[in-house]
């Protein structure tokens, strides 16, 4: 069923989720206005472009979906509606073809977000989408109309047939998404799970000597297990920082680490990562190699020659305490160097946000159950995923899905 041609939509938030909802609504003939609080939309998307803009991933659908953990079932139909292949085709349609990197991650060939975003804004303008900049949503009036405050502080109520909220999470708040929507939604009875840092580095109380020497050094191809969690180990490259540690395997363990930190602050055991510095070599083989120590070898030479550890790996072993001299004890340490986590870095340094509007608050079309005609999309919802293109993919797919839901709602009203 198509919506009446005179239908209007207010899309609040000009990130990937909001703009893709706007595009989908406009393509169906709806008159769309996007309200964006910042002087320009898409600031986080553009920042993501500084790292190459990993826009989606090329892996098969089952592992792809697995990245969304407990939200996978909800997100699955959205990924069918606007799939990774659709996203790549869409980039190409905007003159920005993509390629698959060696890790399976997908990037625009330009390796930047700016050309794609510029082409997208032009496409939206052609489609009749109006973007009102410096226009912040600031709540609802007594009739349920959204309130928009402009940069001069003037607030007006906006009437539209449907509203799509895509206000993002709370990481990098100076880019626009700061989580200030949480309280107004809670006040309207909508359950919002606490926003927490996801895809974020960890704080570790390194010794000064270690932090000074190894901040910025990678730990290549390690396997990281959150002790006592039962969660599977995560493989990849981690990065030592002055304050702690970050990188793919840390981000992929994010939810497990948060749970372990919560348990620790409730009095349980501390949150400890066990880092396997040689995950490709089994313990028996490691011990065999370590037993070939020459009498004159220093510990560093022994570890470098026999098992190929680099200075950062050896430094990490030393950081764990006195170095063992027995091959068996050294093997055990290399296979599980303990690193006690103090905390995550703050949310404003996180790549994304966990938590958000509870899935139980939205119907299968992403319409807020207690606000008929109001839809939500993107990081505002309670889901998370590791880095790898999964965040942007889901944001786009949810934008399309929420817009479809809104169109169905408008059509139903005819
Ligand atoms: C440094 C960095 C690198 C990243 N790299 C990648 C990557 O390579 N791949 C990947 O998949 N993901 C990446 N991400 C994550 C990705 O950018 C986000 O998941 C995605 O942008 C979320 O889209 P969204 O539309 O839900 O929210 P956002 O992009 O945050 O957009 C929300 C918009 O709403 C606006 N807004 C907020 N409040 C109001 C209000 N009251 N009124 C009006 N407007 C408002 C904001 O200004 C903003 O423009 C990265 C994130 C960061 C911080």
Average confidence (pLDDT) over 258-284: 94
Q: Is the pTM of this model over 0.85?
A: yes
For residue range 127-142, what is the model confidence (pLDDT) as tens digits? Answer: 999 999 999 999 999 9
Q: Distance between CA atoms of 184 and 23, rounded to whole angstroms?
A: 27
Q: Kindly list the protein residues whose Cβ atom lies closer than 6 A to any atom of ligand 1.
A: 12-18, 35-38, 41, 43-45, 47-48, 51, 53-54, 136-137, 166-168, 171-172, 176-177, 351-352, 378-379, 389-392, 395
How many angstroms is it from 15 CA to the middle of ligand 1?
A: 5
Q: 413 pLDDT band (50/70/90 cuts)?
A: very low
Q: What is d(CA 175, CA 153) in angstroms, rounded to the nearest whole number? A: 20
* Cα of 21 from ligand 1 centre, angstroms: 14
Report the atom number in ligand 1 closest to the C-alpha of 399.
25
Domain 8-198+350-410 matching CATH 3.50.50.60: the answer reads yes
> How many angstroms does the Cα of residue 324 sit away from the middle of ligand 1?
47
Average pLDDT over residues 259-265: 93
CA distance 91 to 56: 11
Which residue CA neighbors atom 6 of ligand 1 most closely? 48
Q: What percent of the chain has pLDDT over 90?
A: 94
Ligand 1: residue of 21, 24, 44 to mutate (most ligand atoms within 8 A of CB) is 44
Report the sign of the C-alpha dihedral through residues 181, 183, 189, 192, in that order: positive
Ligand 1 center to 47 CA (angstroms): 9
For residue 38, the ligand 1 atom closest to its alpha carbon is: 47
Burial of 151 (0-12, 13-18, 19+ CB in 10 A): exposed
Q: How far is the CA of 42 from the centre of ligand 1 (A)?
A: 7
- Going from the C-alpha of 303 to that of each of 103, 262, 277, 289, 314, the distances in angstroms are 29, 36, 12, 9, 7
Backbone phi and psi for residue 198, each to the nearest 5 degrees, phi listed first: -130, 155
Residue 286 neighbours by CB under 8 Å, 6+ apart: 278, 307, 331, 334, 335
Residue length, the chain? 414
Which residue's CA is the closest to the ligand 1 atom numbered 46? 176
Domain segments of the chain: what residues? Answer: 8-198+350-410, 202-344
* Best of 391, 399, 400, 402 for a ligand 1 pocket test (most atoms within 8 Å of beta carbon): 391
Question: In the prediction, which pLDDT does 2 show?
Answer: 63
Residue 267: which pLDDT band, with cuts at 50, 70 and 90? confident
Contact 396/87 with Cβ under 8 angstroms?
Answer: yes
Q: What is the pLDDT of residue 3?
A: 66
Q: What is the pLDDT, as a whole number, of residue 414? A: 38
C-alpha 302 to ligand 1 mean position (Å)? 48
Residue 191, both tokens = 């359950």
Distance CA 36, CA 87 (A): 23
Q: Taking a C-beta distance cutoff of 8 angstroms, is the pair 250, 295 a contact?
A: no
Please state the atom number of ligand 1 nearest to the C-alpha of residue 43.
Answer: 49
């Amino acid at each position: 069923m198509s919506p009446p041609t005179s239908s209007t939509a207010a899309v609040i938030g000009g990130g990937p989720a909001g703009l893709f909802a706007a595009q989908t609504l406009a393509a169906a003939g709806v008159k769309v206005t996007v309200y964006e609080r910042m002087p320009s939309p898409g600031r986080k998307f553009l920042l993501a472009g500084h790292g190459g803009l990993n826009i989606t991933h090329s892996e098969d659908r089952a592992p792809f979906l697995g990245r969304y953990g407990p939200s996978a079932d909800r997100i699955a139909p959205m990924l069918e509606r606007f799939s990774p292949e659709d996203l790549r085709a869409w980039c190409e349609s905007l003159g920005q073809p993509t390629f698959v990197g060696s890790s399976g991650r997908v990037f625009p060939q330009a390796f930047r977000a700016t050309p794609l975003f510029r082409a997208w804004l032009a496409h939206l303008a052609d489609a009749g989408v109006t973007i009102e900049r410096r226009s912040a949503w600031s709540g609802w009036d007594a009739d349920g109309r959204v309130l928009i405050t402009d940069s001069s502080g003037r607030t007006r109520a906006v009437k539209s047939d449907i509203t799509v909220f895509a206000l993002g999470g709370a990481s990098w708040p100076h880019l626009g998404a700061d989580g200030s929507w949480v309280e107004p939604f809670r006040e309207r009875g909508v359950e919002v799970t606490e926003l927490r840092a996801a895809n974020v580095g960890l704080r570790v109380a390194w010794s000064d000597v270690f932090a000074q020497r190894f901040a910025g050094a990678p730990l290549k191809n390690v396997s990281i297990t959150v002790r006592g969690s039962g969660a599977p180990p995560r493989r990849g490259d981690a990065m030592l920082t002055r304050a702690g540690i970050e990188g793919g395997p840390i981000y992929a363990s994010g939810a497990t680490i948060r749970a372990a930190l919560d348990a620790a602050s409730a009095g349980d055991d501390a949150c400890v990562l066990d880092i396997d510095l040689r995950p490709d070599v089994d313990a028996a083989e490691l011990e065999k190699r370590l037993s070939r120590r020459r009498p004159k070898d220093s510990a560093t030479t022994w570890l470098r020659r026999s098992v190929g550890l680099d200075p950062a790996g050896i430094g990490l072993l030393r950081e764990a305490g006195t170095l063992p001299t027995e091959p068996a004890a050294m093997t055990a340490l290399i296979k599980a160097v303990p690193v006690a986590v103090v905390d995550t870095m703050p949310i404003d340094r996180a790549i994304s946000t966990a938590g958000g509007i509870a899935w139980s608050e939205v119907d299968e079309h992403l319409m807020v159950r207690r606000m008929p005609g109001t839809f939500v999309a993107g990081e505002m919802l309670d889901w998370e995923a590791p880095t790898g293109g999964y965040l942007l993919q889901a944001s786009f797919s949810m934008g399309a899905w929420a817009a479809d839901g809104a169109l169905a709602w408008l059509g139903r009203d005819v």
